Structure 1
């Protein structure tokens, strides 16, 4: 039986198991477990056959034992069959067996890894039933992925239960919730959470403070932005480049160009050097203001500081050239960019715009078709640019 099972021949292994009926007291539950165990080792195992065997054991008087469930659970996880792994866990619970912490933790990690968050919540609740503590990395990642998937209420549910049980370990557990609340226009709720955690003795970091600044900026609460910035600095927390960049963008969006540029200077004076994202935010604003000379100068500054412009930077520069009618210069620069490596859809869209402005819409369409053949994925702007070219 084992020989058939380990070679992946379930049919003959099962037939051999049935032949054991000719021996008194056979087959036992251990024999059934052995078949499943060796079949799983074959690496050709099929979950349907394992589930059928499990239901057959229950029907024909071989009640599964702890090792049956552990073998099946590990096997389902090995096969990547999350649905049936959770089915086995629930069967253990229904049959009054206690799944091990390791098996449940492994199941939760698998749900997180594949992004199956609804099943992850189910496994999380099972772990709570047995009073199992999640490890810090698993907990942090679970909450982060829930927030990234827009399941903020579920993340808050998980967090509140763990907080009541004193299972929250550090700031890295609730920072994603602060950010998720601020990104969805609930900065005052985030502020309440911030103070609740402070009251409980947790030390916040710059990421926590920056989340609130982002939330206030997003909701246009200028007074709150600068009051909070003063509060951050008075608490001895050193703001970072992300904090400053968020405020600079906020000022630009509110048409406070000079104030934003003063803030960039202040940032540099305090030893917080702007990064590529900061410069791209400035480039975007210069592009909207048609300040091509300033764009060229800023790109030179970026180059001197060792910051290689990315596709966003080049899009701003080429867009500026197009706005002042220097289509040829924009095309030349874009061809140079293409020769230096892979670029994204935004840069190609600018190139299509260049061609269409020079009455080369057919060429733009041919280029688009060629790019699609090699895996390029156009967006609405790509098609609308070329349609607009034909219409003109």
Structure 2
């Protein structure tokens, strides 16, 4: 019973502490939070090019004073604060068993959407509304139910449109609501952030039915997609992109038939199956067609950010980002331990910066972690097989000796 209690206590302490075995990670970066009072807030850290060069993505870990910090990773965006209010046009209204209103919203410029519809009334009311959105008054694609009220000076006042691009709104309210719609708010969408690098186009190697371009990528620029520009405006070709994985073996990271038309712009974008930060090749299969002339190649890496909570557990809070282990499994955190979308709407994250990359002086693979644990498992497996074969051979040999003596 005492032993059981001791094991329970030790297990509980381990669950609370959760230290990271930092010796498994080759690189680290210190995280500096840009505020003097970071307690009980959300921290946003933008990942940089150095990280992508030496990380295997699944190996990203954050620590505070040596203990694991749950995090969320997402594409970084340039947050737009631009909004404007416009007056919708009331196309139709009917007041019968239900009050029906059909609104037409002003045309949207590129990159904008509608976020909120303002509702008012000269009288106190409360009503359930069925809201429908569509491209035209004949067809509505989205439906939601909302509850609105006005009790003196207290009012709900707005309907969340969910950043829609639909321009027609139909509202069905309870009779006696007498609603008016003084304005609709449209916002500019957030812009995804990228860093791009232009690569000089090398002389091609002409093959029987294809042309091959080799890019050394000497700066080890990371990328998750390619943008290609050709002198020809209209074409269709099979394109294969290969890259060196772990600087040793070549692997196909894209293969497929792509087509381009002049009205689609300058570039054709090639998605990559996994992040690349090494030399790569682009092979264009022309078949019986004339050879395409590659004019420009741009590697594109979406910028990403990690978000995590700070707390007040200790006065000293040293945050460090660890990475650089190809054998590390992907982090799997309880979704309640890192910032959710609701948290991000309620709180504005505080910014933090990554320091310069440093090699971890404590780096060295442990016996209980890959790859050494895998080697040990393999050795033990074959040792077990040989031991089993030895015993089987010994038993068979002893049986043969007994058989000879009996003869």
TM-score, normalised to structure 1, is 0.19
- Whichever of the two has the greater Rg, that structure is 2
Indicate the structure with greater strand content.
2
Indicate the structure with greater helix content.
1
**Highest RCO, 1 vs 2 (Cα 8 Å, sep ≥ 6):** 2
TM-score, normalised to structure 2, is 0.18
